[in-house]
Structure 1
Amino acid sequence: MSASPNIEHMGSRTTILSVDDMKITSVLSGQHERIIVDHDVDHDEAVILALGYKQEFKREFSLFTTFGVSFSVLGLLPSIASTLWYSLAYAGNAGITWGYLIGMVGVMGVACSMAEISSAFPTSGGLYYATAMMAPPRYRAILSWIVGWSNYFVQVTGAPSVAYGGAAMILALKQVVDDTYVYHTWHCYLLTVGLTFFAAIIASAPTKWIAWINSCSTILNLIFLFVSWIVILGGNSRQDQGLPKFNSNKIAWGLDNLTDWPDGICILMSFMAVIWTMSGFDSPFHLAEECSNAQVATPRAIVLTASVGGILGFVFQLAMAYTIVDVDAAVTDSLSQPYISFLIQVLDRPSALCLASFAIILAFTMTFSCMIAASRVLFSYSRDNCFPLSRYWATVNKTTLTPVNAVWMNWFIGCLLCLLMFGGVAIDAIFSVGAIGSFISFTIPTLLRITYARSFFKPGPWNLGKFTYLSGSLAVSFTTLMIPVLCFPQYRGANNSPSSMNWTVLVYWGSLFLAIAWYYIYAHKIYSGPRSNLDKGSVIKDGEEDDVIQTIVSKGGKIKYGASEVTDEDQVPIEKA
């Protein structure tokens, strides 16, 4: 092609990037192509251009603010409160003590492997893009399709599941303070929709505002968690009930199998709580295009979120294990909220209401943080035509410079998902979908990294070195074990019923089946994996480079080749940096 017509519109500063010299595997790699940009390019923009995408967001997230978003998505206090059904209600105190610790070992393996991949592919597409780059060419499209949709299921169910948990806690408190109140499902539905509506407004804000809000919510998360921990340990009322101040080690670490499965399976099933609680650690991956020094800050934020969240979560739950009065009563209480029931057991009424309010406030901050991450996923996947009407969801709002359309589309889908609460226990599937969907999307690229792609994978500046295959093997083994376990119901045989079954099998696997069917029926005609959205005139071949340079120089322009500026008034050959 001739690049001259495009050069006419360039300013006096032009940057020429060599994709193959960037040491990045991308949709443009191996094609001997150069990218021409009419302005100075820093390292972050050079990386995203080499990956095949325009720089469309402002990079106003730092390591701390990126960690802030992911820690808010983690939402330890509301996450623990919402998922006690899968830890305390399955395995008793063992589910929140040593069972949690074992689960965290596997989660850390997954987080470290993901962090390494994020350093090599710092794009909002995250695991989906990485899968396409590491998969055999024949299976690139279908594997990235499966990973993309699985990860999207995780993201789109995140906000409604958190908001649902928050709404349920609000209504549980209403029952505590008002004996005349009668719970109705539609109350919970409308409250959930209202919470997600206001969360969507915040998620539509400019990046700078979002970064500031999430920094504040991170500080709030830490303060509320610490205060709750102190009050539970120091201010519990166990002695007023004629009990010792704390449970014995035997009770605090004891296993109470409340399922119909053997003890080993019971503990594995309780891992659903830690997996769902920790699932937010992948959020920095989806914010990579808004983060400065993304190849380093993104993986650091992932590991920091997983490690800090894991430690704080364990310490907080340890306090619960040593103070809870009656596990069975907390699980079977008419409030249907084990965390609220636990607080009422161990604290006076004002303290219980205060700590429950902390969890509710943080559930709201967690809701809009989940929406932020989900919108980036929908936006990035839509750039590659993964979804119906993709052109609308791949649009960046000109005022806020954020994907507002994607935010509100996810909100609408979340409202539809929340209708599952009218099906009784079926609403629990949005929690387990978050767990199993994340594991499917994490496992495939990690497996490719340590098998097929091991010979050509180009690690980023943050990598595991010789520990890559140890971490990857641990991650893949853990996720492969847990994927079927996450589909197990609490009860089996005659004790199982439609009202107590695990609806994950239908909600997740049914949805994934439809997505795969759509791919083979039609989508394979328009989707072949990630694709560059760079303007055609900005990408040239090796043989066209000299003509382009001479055109720019003849007009008195200055050229940067990669990161080094070269002024060539005398048409001296330009050297690579």
Structure 2
Amino acid sequence: MATRAPATSKLHLQHSEDEATLAKLGYKQELCREFTPLEVFALAFSYTGLLPGVASTLFYSIPNGGPVAMVWGWAIACPFIMCICLALSELASAAPTSGGLYYWTYSLASPRCRNFLSWIVGYANTIENITGVASINWACAIQITAAIGIASNESYVTTNEQLYGIYAALVLSQAVLVSLGTKVLARLQKPYMLVNLCLCLLVIIALPIATPHEYRNTAIFALGNFTNLDGWPSGFAFTLSLMAPLYTTGGYDASVHMSEEASNAAVAIPWAITGSIAMAAVLGFGINITIAFCMGTDLVGILSSPIGQPMAQILYNSLGQRMALGIWCLIISAMYMGASNGLLVGSRQTFAFARDGAIPFSRYLYRINGYTKTPVNTVWFDAACTLAIGLLAFVSTQAINAVFTIAISASYVSFITPIATRFAFKNNFKPGPFHLGKLSFPIAAIAVSGMVFMIIVFFFPSTPKTTAQEMNYTVVVLGGYMFLAVSWYYFPVYGGVHWFEGPISNVTSGIAGENGDGGEDSMKEKKEQREAEFYVSVADV
């Protein structure tokens, strides 16, 4: 006991400092700080779901450049991705709160437009997290049917009804899991990370060893072959292939939304963001090189495989039925873990947004379960929205595929705004422990300009000759959602323009605590108790 006392005292001191930092940002500590820095890093890395992500996005890279797009597209995209992560990390260190992006936007923007910008970012961030969970689970459902295809020697054909049934079962089981206490969820992160890490190393090591000679490619093919199957000009086709690494490593803000449950959040969160993406960049490059050398030269055959998944067919060709099925089941498990963490971080963002009264049913969503001490209501709210989004599969394949790119484009809207407002408006931004110094502006400029360009790219269809049925519905679905968000803000009498004033301090007024109070008193008193600016530096605590 004597040896543990100092560590315990240090932990309590750190939690006290974290609570003081949160109070300076305007919020009372309501969630349990059970995530260690390593567990926050593990959450960020497992949410990336590196190998499952690579497996799910070969449909983007193989037809739009083949091996060149897979290998060199990844290498080109990663520095740009790291610029986004560095810019977000600097903001996360300065103001570590679960609200994250919309909070930063409000704090840094001009008083004339900060309410509106904060509203837009909050809603974009909400749909990003929900569609992120939807896209991972839909991909996971497809991977499960691919596993059945491997087990049945490529004879199984699925239907949309069966896919949706699997999808719904995944979402509901994850909602049950994420409803558990913070300590349980925190302890799961290390095993999640270990599974993902071992899976990546297993494929990098085992695939070259086991691949038969007829499927082994030369360095000239693996590193220099450019195959364009969809018909776009080669340069634009290569640009479209960048969707693969951008989607695979997406969700850079995942750890941000765990800020109020993490120990030493001002340091742990930014390092989780940058560290997890750095590891994913290195391992992802290794995975793509391995696949390029071991997938054979029949790219059309891989894409049109009866199994329905290029990666599954590659594993089947190289490893045989049993080993391929074993690794594929691990890929499915890793994808399930990533989706669970997606629902976890999304529920925390929804909780923070409801805490500030910005979304419908806020009084019910801003509640903490008295038993688990977690926001169970927002978990099931996000799960219900995820189930509803899955119904797009019955509209068309293109409509459900739009969910994949919506998750990225919506996230870019919510990333661009706070990064840009920091430099576009006069504000009193003060960096936290993690800061970039003179590199802040050039890194932010690269991140913002790149994201603006890629948002436009995400709206293009997969082929230049398309029909109404085959078009890319990303712009329609995302545009429709954002139109509703703006309409709700400017709606006569009841719209957000009449009552939304950004983040609400609950330090000195009623909060949603153990008694389940919805925080209505806090919302009513906000105009009287809050001044416009409350952006503070962690260094001031």
Report if TM-score (shorter chain) is over 0.5: yes
Provide TM-score, normalisation by structure 1. 0.83
1:92-117: per-residue Cα shift (whole Å, max 9, x none)? 11221111111111111000000000
Query: What residue in structure 2 maps to residue 447 of structure 1?
Result: 420
Residue of structure 1 aligned with 2:458, choices 467, 473, 486: 486
Quick one: distance in 1 between partners of 2:156 and 2:239? 38
Quick one: distance in 2 between partners of 1:356 and 1:110? 31
How big is the shift at 1:537? 9.1
Structure 1's unaligned 5+ residue stretches are: 1-38, 540-562, 564-575
The alignment yields a C-alpha RMSD, in angstroms, of: 2.2
Quick one: distance in 2 between partners of 1:426 and 1:487? 13
Query: What residue in structure 1 maps to residue 333 of structure 2?
Result: 361
- Map 1:456-495; keep pairs closer than 5 Å: 456-492=428-464, 495=465
Moved more, 76-85 or 402-411: 76-85
Alpha carbons of 1:251 and 1:78: their partners in 2 closer, same or farther (altered >3 Å)?
closer
For the pair 1:432 / 2:405, whether they are aligned, the reply is yes
Quick one: distance in 2 between partners of 1:500 and 1:312? 34
For the pair 1:280 / 2:255, whether they are aligned, the reply is no
SS of 2:380's partner is: helix
Quick one: distance in 2 between partners of 1:333 and 1:537? 58
- Map 1:146-225; keep pairs closer than 5 Å: 146-178=120-152, 181-225=156-200
Residue of structure 2 aligned with 1:412, choices 378, 381, 384: 384
For the pair 1:516 / 2:486, whether they are aligned, the reply is yes
Query: What residue in structure 2 maps to residue 337 of structure 1?
Result: 309
How big is the shift at 1:79? 1.1
**1:172–1:340 Cα contact (<8 Å) kept:** yes
Query: What residue in structure 2 maps to residue 28 of structure 1?
Result: none
**2:14–2:263 Cα contact (<8 Å) kept:** no
Quick one: distance in 2 between partners of 1:116 and 1:417? 33
Alpha carbons of 1:203 and 1:435: their partners in 2 closer, same or farther (altered >3 Å)?
same
Alpha carbons of 1:95 and 1:500: their partners in 2 closer, same or farther (altered >3 Å)?
farther
Query: What residue in structure 2 maps to residue 143 of structure 1?
Result: 117
Query: What residue in structure 2 maps to residue 69 of structure 1?
Result: 43
Alpha carbons of 1:467 and 1:403: their partners in 2 closer, same or farther (altered >3 Å)?
same
How big is the shift at 1:358? 1.5
Letter in 2 for 1:513: F
SS of 1:357's partner is: helix
Query: What residue in structure 1 maps to residue 201 of structure 2?
Result: 226
Quick one: distance in 2 between partners of 1:150 and 1:413? 14
For the pair 1:503 / 2:473, whether they are aligned, the reply is yes
Query: What residue in structure 2 maps to residue 403 of structure 1?
Result: 375
* Runs of 4+ off more than 6 Å: none
Quick one: distance in 2 between partners of 1:251 and 1:181? 31
**2:42–2:193 Cα contact (<8 Å) kept:** yes
**2:96–2:256 Cα contact (<8 Å) kept:** yes
Letter in 2 for 1:70: A
Query: What residue in structure 2 maps to residue 48 of structure 1?
Result: 22
- Map 1:251-290; keep pairs closer than 5 Å: 251-290=222-261
SS of 1:341's partner is: helix
Moved more, 416-425 or 343-352: 343-352
Letter in 1 for 2:250: S
Letter in 2 for 1:127: L
Moved more, 517-526 or 170-179: 170-179
SS of 1:220's partner is: helix
**1:125–1:286 Cα contact (<8 Å) kept:** yes
**1:124–1:289 Cα contact (<8 Å) kept:** yes
Quick one: distance in 2 between partners of 1:43 and 1:359? 39
Quick one: distance in 2 between partners of 1:486 and 1:81? 19
SS of 1:347's partner is: helix
Identity rate, percent = 34
**1:385–1:526 Cα contact (<8 Å) kept:** no
Query: What residue in structure 1 maps to residue 504 of structure 2?
Result: 531
Residue of structure 1 aligned with 2:86, choices 104, 112, 119: 112
Provide TM-score, normalisation by structure 2. 0.88
Query: What residue in structure 2 maps to residue 130 of structure 1?
Result: 104
Quick one: distance in 2 between partners of 1:116 and 1:126? 12
Structure of larger gyration radius: 1
**1:49–1:55 Cα contact (<8 Å) kept:** yes
Query: What residue in structure 2 maps to residue 7 of structure 1?
Result: none
Query: What residue in structure 1 maps to residue 73 of structure 2?
Result: 99
Alpha carbons of 1:181 and 1:270: their partners in 2 closer, same or farther (altered >3 Å)?
closer
**2:55–2:310 Cα contact (<8 Å) kept:** yes
1:405-448: per-residue Cα shift (whole Å, max 9, x none)? 00011111111111111122211111101111111111111111
Letter in 2 for 1:51: L
